[in-house]
Amino acid sequence: MSMTQKPMQKNDTAVVKITDIGVNGEGIGKVDGYTLFIKDAVIGDTVEAKVMKAKKNYGYARLMEVIEPSPDRVAPKCSFARKCGGCQIQEMSYERQLAFKAQKVQANLERVGGFSPQFLNRIMEPALGMDSPFGYRNKAQFPFGTDKEGNPVTGFYAGRTHDIIPNTDCALGVSVNREILEIILNFMKKNKIPSYDEKTGKGLIRHVLIRYGFATREIMVCLVVNGREIPDAGELISGLSKIPGMTSITLSPNMRRTNVIMGDSVDVLWGGGYITDYIGGIKYQISPLSFYQVNPVQTENLYSLVLEYADLKGHETVWDLYCGIGTISIFLAQRARKVYGVEIIPQAIDDARENAKINGIENVEFFVGRAEEVLPEWYQEHADAGEASAGNGARADVVVVDPPRKGCDETLLRTIVEMAPERVVYVSCDPATLARDLKYLCGQGYMLERVRAVDMFPETVHVETVVRLQRKDT
Ligand code: SAH
């Protein structure tokens, strides 16, 4: 762009060919060298767009009209696809979504990780997708509000706001959600029970958490309320408990004026305090406050891939760092001599120990703490005792890491390198930090062998990746 050429201004419109996809799933196109980010535009579309915010070298524009649809454009399943903050790429064909996710991983490995395109083209496996990319979530949290006529409503927050758009039929959730929400709304109307109002701090019903066991068909409903009880709760319970599969109805008081959804405690109103579910034959007891993967079908595929990449023979010592409720640890323990799990949240480790127990898994041990502190301390202690050379103790054969978005602390990576496991399996929810950490490990004697994106969240831009690194001198 020349110095005299003016960038676009707010409210300008332009016809744009979409040539790329941004990190949030938005379409990207150029007008005379000026880049526009256009939400809901699909790569390959030609669209008319109106500039909403103009910066010097780029701007954000609104999709006004699709002039020529991309071959990858599909009709959204949900009529709220554009308004809702939940899905970002429902108007892109599922095949294209999968290609986009694999490309996103590859682009990061090239740019941040410094791996060559030729090498990556050779080793990257196609993204592992779902047969049916809707109705996959086993957990839903619906906020409650009040419409202009004063009626209780529930639905979802419009993107980036807390305005509730009524919709009891989210396409990512299970169909029973709708029945449950209608029963609650009717009960509220009949008994004049108000929704909570964030602005005033008044009103009662804040959120409803629904969980569904895909393997067991057990259902849990937890009502989050601004108080200790719900008036005439017996009537509500009577309605909800008639739904086939209803197993647990609970109440979680949350009187704080925060965005945190759940209260600190849970009271059982009907049935038990948890539901049971299975992933890959492992049993889990899930309470309203416990963490559990939201896409059980893809979680089983993800864990199977981790197991495949770990390539265990049965004699190995394995560390599962950032282990959450111990799901991967327990999965791996079926094929290893010993698995150690490390997780920072104490309640998650309580769950992990309980999960090991109810599955009769005895060769796992869990530690509460930061992975970057627990592992170095443990290694120091056992290496000092001379156990490394004895072939056990400080030795690790396989290390699995599944960190949050910020990736692994360098102290942790350094310790892993010192412990020199034969293989490292890295599960990542952020390709950029994955690439950064792989660059480090590959500079310290590891070789990138396998890479595969697993689509845990179809219709959204989230990308999960599993990677295998092999130590060079083995
Ligand atoms: N592997 C688990 C979940 C991993 S999510 C599963 O498959 O279900 C990442 C986990 O890392 C979260 O449970 C989070 O609490 C934990 N975590 C975050 N920072 C950590 C740290 N520094 N050390 C250990 N665990 C951490």
pLDDT tens column, 243-275: 999 999 999 999 999 989 999 999 999 999 999
Same domain (yes/no): 274, 390? no
Pocket-testing residue among 320, 330, 344, ligand 1, by greatest number of atoms within 8 A of Cβ? 344
Of 127, 237, 251, 244, which Cα lies nearest the Cα of 174?
Answer: 244
Same domain (yes/no): 431, 379? yes
**Per-residue pLDDT band at 123 (split at 50, 70, 90):** very high
Ligand 1 centroid vs 25 CA: distance in angstroms?
A: 26
CB-based contact 105:128 (threshold 8 Å) = no
Does 111 have pLDDT greater than 80? Answer: yes
CA 424 remoteness from chain centre = 22
Same domain (yes/no): 349, 396? yes
Ligand 1 centroid vs 370 CA: distance in angstroms?
A: 9
Atom of ligand 1 nearest to the CA of 342: 24
Atom 16, ligand 1: residue with shortest CA distance: 322
Predicted confidence at residue 7, as pLDDT, reads: 79
Nearest-angstrom CA–CA distance, 112 and 120? 13
Burial per residue of 298-324, b for 16 or more beta-carbon CB atoms within 10 angstroms, e otherwise: bbbbbbebbbebbebeeebbbbbbbbb
Does 277 have pLDDT greater than 50? Answer: yes
Does 23 have pLDDT greater than 90? Answer: no
Atom 23, ligand 1: residue with shortest CA distance: 370
Predicted confidence at residue 383, as pLDDT, reads: 80
Ligand 1 centroid vs 326 CA: distance in angstroms?
A: 10
Domain presence at residue 4: no
Does 232 have pLDDT greater than 70? Answer: yes
Give the residue-averaged pLDDT of 271-295: 93
Same domain (yes/no): 179, 275? yes
**Per-residue pLDDT band at 446 (split at 50, 70, 90):** very high
Pocket-testing residue among 289, 328, 331, 343, ligand 1, by greatest number of atoms within 8 A of Cβ? 343
Same domain (yes/no): 433, 301? yes
Pocket-testing residue among 322, 340, 370, 399, ligand 1, by greatest number of atoms within 8 A of Cβ? 322
Give the residue-averaged pLDDT of 390-416: 89
Q: Which residue has the higher pLDDT, 46 or 81?
A: 46
Does 319 have pLDDT greater than 70? Answer: yes
Question: Which CATH number fits the domain that encloses residue 171?
Answer: 2.40.50.1070
Atom of ligand 1 nearest to the CA of 299: 7
Active-site residue (options: 87, 170, 222, 429): 429
Domain presence at residue 431: yes
Does 24 have pLDDT greater than 90? Answer: no
Predicted confidence at residue 390, as pLDDT, reads: 45
Same domain (yes/no): 326, 242? no
Question: Which CATH number fits the domain that encloses residue 43?
Answer: 2.40.50.140
Atom 21, ligand 1: residue with shortest CA distance: 370
Domain presence at residue 287: no
- Among the residue ranges 177-181, 306-310, 379-383, the one predicted with the least confidence is 379-383
Domain presence at residue 46: yes
Question: Which CATH number fits the domain that encloses residue 361?
Answer: 3.40.50.150
Domain presence at residue 38: yes
Predicted confidence at residue 358, as pLDDT, reads: 96
Same domain (yes/no): 312, 265? no
Domain presence at residue 465: yes
Ligand 1 centroid vs 405 CA: distance in angstroms?
A: 10
3-state class (DSSP) for residue 121: helix
Ligand 1 centroid vs 427 CA: distance in angstroms?
A: 11
Predicted confidence at residue 5, as pLDDT, reads: 54
**Ligand 1 shell residues, CB under 6 Å:** 293, 322-324, 327-328, 342-345, 348, 370-372, 402, 404
Mean model confidence pLDDT for the chain? 94
Same domain (yes/no): 245, 342? no
Ligand 1 centroid vs 323 CA: distance in angstroms?
A: 5
Domain presence at residue 243: yes
Structural domain of 268:
139-279
Same domain (yes/no): 268, 301? no
Same domain (yes/no): 306, 448? yes
How many domains would you assign to the chain? 3
**pTM to 2 decimals?**
0.92
Atom 11, ligand 1: residue with shortest CA distance: 322
Atom 12, ligand 1: residue with shortest CA distance: 324
Atom 8, ligand 1: residue with shortest CA distance: 324
Chosen domain end from 48, 68, 88: 68
CB-based contact 200:215 (threshold 8 Å) = no
Q: Which residue has the higher pLDDT, 85 or 253?
A: 253
Domain presence at residue 53: yes
- Among the residue ranges 234-243, 279-288, 437-446, the one predicted with the least confidence is 279-288
- Among the residue ranges 16-30, 223-237, 290-304, 383-397, the one predicted with the least confidence is 383-397
| Residue 323 a catalytic site member | no
Same domain (yes/no): 305, 410? yes
Give the residue-averaged pLDDT of 133-147: 96
Ligand 1 centroid vs 365 CA: distance in angstroms?
A: 16
For 369-419, the three-class secondary structure string (H helix, E strand, C coil) is: CCHHHHHHHHHHHHHHCCCCCCCCCCCCCEEEECCCCCCCCHHHHHHHHHH
Does 294 have pLDDT greater than 90? Answer: yes
Q: Does the CA dihedral 156-159-160-164 come out positive or negative?
A: negative
Predicted confidence at residue 158, as pLDDT, reads: 77
Give the residue-averaged pLDDT of 68-82: 94
CB-based contact 174:134 (threshold 8 Å) = no
Task: Give 351: exposed, middle or buried? Use CB within 10 Å, 0-12, 13-18, 19+.
Answer: buried
Chosen domain end from 279, 307, 323: 279
Predicted confidence at residue 391, as pLDDT, reads: 47
Q: Tens of pLDDT along 357-391? A: 999 999 999 999 999 999 999 999 888 766 555 44
Nearest-angstrom CA–CA distance, 161 and 80? 15
Chosen domain end from 50, 68, 86: 68
Same domain (yes/no): 462, 337? yes
